[in-house]
Amino acid sequence: MEKMKRAERMVAITQVLMLKPNVLTPLTLFAEQFRTAKSTISEDLMAVKGSLLHSGHGHLETISGAAGGVRYIPEISRKEATQVLSSLAERLNDKERILAGGFLYMTDLLFDPSILRPLGLIFAGAFRDKKPDVVVTIETKGIPLALVTAEALGLPMVVIRSGNKVTEGSSVSINYVSGSSRRIQTMSLSRRALEPQQRVLIIDDFMKAGGTALGIKNLMEEFEADVVGIGILVEAQITAEPKLVEGYLSLLQLKELNPYSGKTTVVSVF
């Protein structure tokens, strides 16, 4: 019976930690809640740790001392990440996704929580070591991707507005040339959205020439922010032209999109 109680306690601890990823919970909180000794909680945590290690769904980080506690760092295994990206590439290669004008229809996938969640974990795993303070994206289609990445890293998200739509006090705007339209466009960010010297991870859904990513980098300089990484879901690699930015990580590459033959080739490059 005592052992059974332990199992229930372990399940409850797992729940609390998984519901608040990246949030430090003091061991005393568990000890009080389950009316048991901190040493017992420590033993429970060891077992939960072992189970997580085995499943590949993340790990527990224990911080000792008075301000210490335990937190759940969500992760995705390499094997699962590979499966997720292959299956996503396969779905994107459906010829029904070719739009007039030679665009690729991705919106339904970019707005589907069950597809987004693992993608956020993949980006989080790739950039956690860079210790970003905030995840930055530009409206509109990259927002859900940036949000799940921010959540997996335990960070806030900041969204740059296209045009001059900011109604949030003073803002900084820059002009940029997007690769797809070859037109001069404007992006803006409210002054209060970023503090100076913040470490920024840029996340976006698509990169063609890299004009938008370069624009975001330039805007970040205006905020004295430090861009520590750029993560792109799908990078177009149709021409041999070099991109306007370097050092980005893309998960998928669009190698071919032929509106006449109806053939799209997206491959996973992770």
C-beta of 109: minimal distance to a copy of itself in Å?
9
* Binding of residue 124 to a copy of itself (CB under 8 A): no
Q: Which of 150, 203, 233, 236 binds a copy of itself (CB under 8 A)?
A: 150
* Binding of residue 221 to a copy of itself (CB under 8 A): no
In what helix (H) or strand (E) does residue 143 lie, and over which residues does it extend?
Answer: helix 143-153
- The Cα–Cα gap between 9 and 26 comes to 16
- The Cα–Cα gap between 161 and 163 comes to 6
Torsion on CA atoms 161, 167, 169, 173, rounded to nearest 10: 30
- The Cα–Cα gap between 210 and 236 comes to 10
Q: Enumerate residues 6+ apart whose C-beta is below 8 A from 73.
A: 21, 22, 58, 59, 60, 61, 128
- Range in contact with a copy of itself (rule: CB under 8 A) among 62-70, 81-89, 110-118, 198-206: 110-118
Q: Which of 35, 64, 114, 260 binds a copy of itself (CB under 8 A)?
A: 114
C-beta of 170: minimal distance to a copy of itself in Å?
9
Interface ranges with a copy of itself (CB under 8 A): 3-4, 6-8, 10-12, 14-16, 18-20, 23, 47-48, 50-52, 54-55, 57, 99-101, 103, 105, 107-108, 111-114, 116-117, 139-140, 143-144, 147, 150-151, 154-159, 161, 167-169, 190, 192-193
